[in-house]
Amino acid sequence: MPIRRKNRSDIPLNKRFSVAPLSPIPPYRLKLAFSILFLALIGLMTRVAYLQLIQGYVLESKARENQTKKVEPLGKRRSIVDRRGRLLAFDEKRFTLYVDPGRFRFPGDTKGVIRSPEEVANKLEGLLPITNKNLIRFLYRQEAGLSVKLIEGLKSDIASKILNLRIDGLDLEAYPQRIYPQDDLVSNLVGFLDYDRVPQAGLELSFDTDLSFSEKSRSYRFGRDGTPLPNDIEPGVFAVDNIQLQLTLDARLQEVALNALRNQLKEWKAKKGVAIVMNVENGELLALASAPTYDPNKYWEYEPVRYKEWSIQELFEPGSTFKPINLALALQEGVIQPTGTVYDSGIVNVGGWPLTNWNKEPNGLLDFAEVLQVSSNVAMVNTMQKLDPLKYWEWLNLLGINETLDTDLPGAVPGYLKEKDLFVKQPIHPAVASYGQGFSVTPLKLAQLHAVIANGGYLVNPHIKKSLNDESIDPSERSEMNILDPKVTKTVLSWMESVVEEGSGKGLKIDNYRIGGKTGTSDQAEDGRTYTSKICSFVAILPIENPKFVVLVAVDGPRKPYAYGSTVAVPVAKKIIESLIVIEKLLPVDSSFNSYPEKTKPVERNI
């Protein structure tokens, strides 16, 4: 029979609400409670004192460490730009990816879980230039607990995607990579950094101090949300170095010059060539192209000989391109007159040496404009023999033929000129020097000397540096020396213009533009004895009415027949000048203007 429980309603009311009688709390319980609270307070105060007085500095340093972000320097270099701000060299942040298969874990994995190389490779698929198969094979070959380099050269966007995967065991290390965005366009000038970021050539080497800037580790504190705390920021912590090395170079003109030069080297199977465009008023170089060249981003793929800049690091005999300079010296000394003439018999004997014209033919009686037009060697010998050999040598020495060119381009070498006693005592030396042989200069030095004729007699220093941001070049710091009478240079300019109008420079004629020039074809002795090669060159000055630019082209070692300055160098110069006219907005002259002086008397010619 089931047992029936009593319901609460069955209990009488007087028994349902019974109250225990009051009794006093024992004193020991009060004392115990007080003692516990007192001891807890003492313990709390002791702990606070311990944390504040003993561990305060340790805890503060840990807190600052957690709240402080340290900015480590990457060792970046300043950029190089052309005169219009076009980047020629700059540093870009790149990343190296290190892997440790023993630490592979994905976000949310519990402690002790190690992901397989296949799982990590699947996450990285499409981000690296490595196939999954090769990546898995590489990861399995690595020892757990050891971080090894997987790949370098990762760009920031790829590195950011890898970082967002939050995979333990994948570590990214930032470093600066020197980039040359124009490839081989200006490699002969800019140079390059090697793998260890040590400058090896070009402006990277000569302007290393300007391009490098010292950085130090910088720190700042930030709040919980990552906001920098303004009361604890070091001065300059967020400062960015925006200084750039700006060159006088115009990358557009450089590209035209380099392409024209390359095509001509290929056409004539030549060894090398150089093209220069220089401002005759201040020495600024607008173009300085050399070929063959190299890609500074892959410098290791080329022979070191290509790292040289021929225009300042190698010498050549200027040949007939030096004749206008010699005529200017003769005019300056008064041994010839602007309206004078000279006879060319086709051969002249000097000290037992027979000297002839390039074509072995006589040209008869010539005025000096015609001397340049037909490029007469015999007429130049007869002309310069009127100048005292000692005076002639002193002039060549004053022009700095045997000195190192004062320029900011790296690696400039001095020219070569015979010793004074040898030059003066042996007539053959001033004789061959009259038509540009027997001494050597760099192509850039020759351009500088033609700038003397173009600018009215001033010697200006060729340079490539325009400014280092606001630190512009002070013209007063440039070496300028007036060495020729402006009347002399104006006369020689008119003679050079006749070369383009009627002589060997006809291929350069451009309608409604006055241009002067001189061709040159000089034999070169590769072994010091046998003349087995030649250099074809051309120098132009424009515009004649107000000269602003000198353009020089030299091509070494053409291997096809009929290689002369007029056939090899002039076509390159014309393409450059056509672009120069557009880029510099040179205005044409009236086509009816008489560009050069009329002959004052008829000239008999016996050819």
Which of 44-53, 125-134, 433-442 reaches the highest mean pLDDT? 433-442
Give the contacts of 74 (CB within 8 A, at least 6 positions apart). 91, 93, 174, 175, 176, 215
Strand partners, 32: none
| Predicted confidence (pLDDT) at residue 85 exceeds the cutoff of 80 | yes
Structure tokens that stand for 111 in this block? 């402690």
CA 79, 80, 83, 86: dihedral to nearest 10 degrees?
-70
Residue 223's pLDDT band (cuts 50, 70, 90):
low
Please state the rounded mean pLDDT for residues 526-530: 54
pLDDT value of position 397: 95
Q: What is the DSSP letter of 182?
A: T
**Which region, left, alpha or beta, applies to residue 595 given φ > 0 means left and ψ of -120 to 50 means alpha?**
alpha
Grouping H, G, I as helix, E, B as strand and the rest as coil, residue 294 is coil
pLDDT value of position 43: 84
Residue 144's pLDDT band (cuts 50, 70, 90):
confident
Residue 452 CB neighbours (<10 A) = 23
Please state the rounded mean pLDDT for residues 93-118: 86
Please state the rounded mean pLDDT for residues 180-191: 93
At 338-373, the pLDDT tens digits run: 999 999 999 999 988 999 998 889 999 999 999 999
At 481-522, the pLDDT tens digits run: 689 999 999 999 999 999 999 999 999 999 999 999 999 998
pLDDT value of position 191: 92
Omega into 597 within 30° of 0, i.e. cis? no
Measured N-to-C along each axis, helices 486-502 and 323-333 cross at an angle, to the nearest 10 degrees, of 140
| Predicted confidence (pLDDT) at residue 533 exceeds the cutoff of 60 | yes
pLDDT value of position 220: 57
| Predicted confidence (pLDDT) at residue 226 exceeds the cutoff of 70 | no
Domain spans, the chain: 71-106+121-247, 251-297+314-466+480-583
Tell me which of 529 and 95 has the higher pLDDT.
95
Among 273, 231, 248, 324, which Cα is nearest to 540's?
Answer: 324
Give the contacts of 469 (CB within 8 A, at least 6 positions apart). 242, 243, 244, 246
Strand partners, 276: 288, 552
Grouping H, G, I as helix, E, B as strand and the rest as coil, residue 470 is coil
| Predicted confidence (pLDDT) at residue 560 exceeds the cutoff of 60 | yes
pLDDT value of position 376: 94
| Predicted confidence (pLDDT) at residue 58 exceeds the cutoff of 80 | no
pLDDT value of position 284: 95
Query: How many CA atoms lie less than 13 Å away from 342 in the CB half-sphere?
Result: 27
Which of 324-328, 478-482, 518-522 reaches the highest mean pLDDT? 324-328
| Predicted confidence (pLDDT) at residue 564 exceeds the cutoff of 70 | yes
Task: Quickly tell me which residue has 């006809």 as its tokens.
Answer: 506
> CATH classification of 71-106+121-247, choosing from 3.30.110.30, 2.20.28.10, 1.20.120.1200, 3.90.1310.10?
3.90.1310.10
Please state the rounded mean pLDDT for residues 5-34: 68
Among 263, 288, 286, 291, which Cα is nearest to 582's?
Answer: 286
| Predicted confidence (pLDDT) at residue 453 exceeds the cutoff of 90 | yes
Alpha helices in 193-250 (DSSP H): 202-206, 208-211
Q: State the chain's mean pLDDT as an integer.
A: 85
Residue 558, amino acid = P
Strand partners, 68: 221
Residue 529's pLDDT band (cuts 50, 70, 90):
low
pLDDT value of position 602: 35
Tell me if 263 sits within 8 A of 524, measured CB to CB. Answer: no
Tell me if 124 sits within 8 A of 117, measured CB to CB. Answer: no
Percent of all residues in the chain with a pLDDT value above 90, rounded to a whole number = 54
Query: How many CA atoms lie less than 13 Å away from 467 in the CB half-sphere?
Result: 10
Long-range contacts of 493-496 (CB under 8 A, 24+ apart): 493/453, 493/454, 493/541, 493/544, 493/547, 494/369, 494/544, 494/596, 494/597, 495/324, 495/327, 495/368, 495/369, 495/371, 495/372, 495/596, 496/324, 496/372, 496/453, 496/541, 496/544
| Predicted confidence (pLDDT) at residue 403 exceeds the cutoff of 80 | yes
| Predicted confidence (pLDDT) at residue 254 exceeds the cutoff of 60 | yes
At 571-600, the pLDDT tens digits run: 999 999 999 999 999 999 865 444 444 443
Q: Give the pTM.
A: 0.79
Q: Residue 45 and residue 232: Cα distance in Å, rounded?
A: 31
Task: Quickly tell me which residue has 């999954």 as its tokens.
Answer: 132
Tell me if 290 sits within 8 A of 309, measured CB to CB. Answer: yes
214 φ/ψ angles, rounded to the nearest 5 degrees: -80, 135
Tell me which of 87 and 145 has the higher pLDDT.
87
Structure tokens that stand for 237 in this block? 């912590």
Tell me if 439 sits within 8 A of 396, measured CB to CB. Answer: yes
Tell me if 191 sits within 8 A of 178, measured CB to CB. Answer: no
| Predicted confidence (pLDDT) at residue 557 exceeds the cutoff of 50 | yes
| Predicted confidence (pLDDT) at residue 66 exceeds the cutoff of 80 | no
Please, what's the b/e burial string for 303-314 (b: 16 or more CB within 10 A of its CB; e: otherwise)?
Answer: eeebbbbbbbbb
The architecture (CATH level 2) of 251-297+314-466+480-583 comes to: 3-Layer(aba) Sandwich (3.40)
